[in-house]
Amino acid sequence: MGYFEYIQQYDHEQVVFCSDKASGLKAIIGIHNTTLGPALGGCRMKRYDNEQDALQDVLRLSRAMTYKSAMAGLNLGGGKTVVMLDHPEQKTPELLHALAKRIDMLHGTYIGAGDIGSDTRDLKTMKQVTPWVTGLAQEDGGLGDSSILTALGVFMGIKASVKARYNRDDMEGLKVVVQGAGKVGFNLIRHLVEAGCEIWLNDVSEKAMERVKAEYGQIHLIPAEAMFETEADIFSPNAVGNIITSELAQVLNVDIVAGGANNIIADETADLILKERNILYAPDFVINSGGVIMVASEIQGKTFDEARELTEAVYNRTLTVFMAAREENITTQEAAKRLAQRRIDAEKKTGRIHNASAEARIPVLH
């Protein structure tokens, strides 16, 4: 399959390949859909085995951002950037400036933010070159680390799942297997511990697990091979995407899957298997939207407390998705996509989006 066929398969508006020989920049910016507004999405900086993997990642992630923003009620579209790094030390100020220059060339059609491999310090460096980045530290005029509200949104989605699956408002004593103890996973664990959950944790980093254990001594650390075999109420993936394959969906020994990772479900067959096995899946782009809500709030000049209140609404949105799935007898993933697409289609009919530039729609960035 050629690149154009591949891109059209995901129905993207624009895919930009960026290169800078001096800094070593190799990046791809995916703009999936700008019907609701400028495409917003994080800048993921990591090692990829090849260009095809990087392209697939940016296409899937930017499409998910379209659904995420639509479901969150934001006037934003979906975008993403992936930067191919050979090693972490390659992320220099020169490379960040080169990336920011390429983002600036898009004149606000795409707005960058933090993601895996990028943080508030990187965004501050990029802000020196372009206004089209968001997610800055508080001392630099932003709302701070977006993983705080991403984790809160995931927790609200888990609470909604518990309500739907068990008709319980509390989570005391529920057994949760958590994959990933990074920024989102660590913050999520704090919410789960405070709610009285029992937690079994795995992370590829021993250091990350030791950090959690030092903070919460009651947590059980388990090896990777035990993670998918452990009987639990909830499995919460908060690391890499594509984790729930058809094979794993057949053997998972849980009632609920709900986590902060992007693109948790690897394929439609896995999605159907979860439904057939009565495993309730909280779609990731619905419940991990706290981060995009936070950076969108920063763009709009809202406070952290206002962003937090908007993120807490993930609870009701998740229940709405579950209700739609039951009524239409479809998977929760499909129900969420349909709800998001309906909002996008309704906006297309108005024609409003073709009459305003990105600059006019988000003037606060200037």
Q: Which two tokens stand for residue 70?
A: 């639509």
DSSP assignment string, 324-343: HHHHHT--HHHHHHHHHHHH
Distance CA 102, CA 19 (A): 9
Q: Is 80 a catalytic site residue?
A: yes
| H/E stretch holding 84 | strand 77-84
Distance CA 21, CA 31 (A): 24
Q: Which two tokens stand for residue 168?
A: 């319980």
Closest CA to 179 of 155, 201, 198: 201
Contact, 99 vs 128, CB < 8 A?
Answer: no
Contact, 239 vs 179, CB < 8 A?
Answer: yes
Closest CA to 287 of 117, 78, 67: 67
How far CA 364 is from CA of 94, 149, 201, 296, 361, in Å, comes to: 27, 22, 41, 11, 9
Which of 26, 68, 80, 91 is an active site residue?
Answer: 80
Q: Which positions are annotated as active-site residues?
A: 80
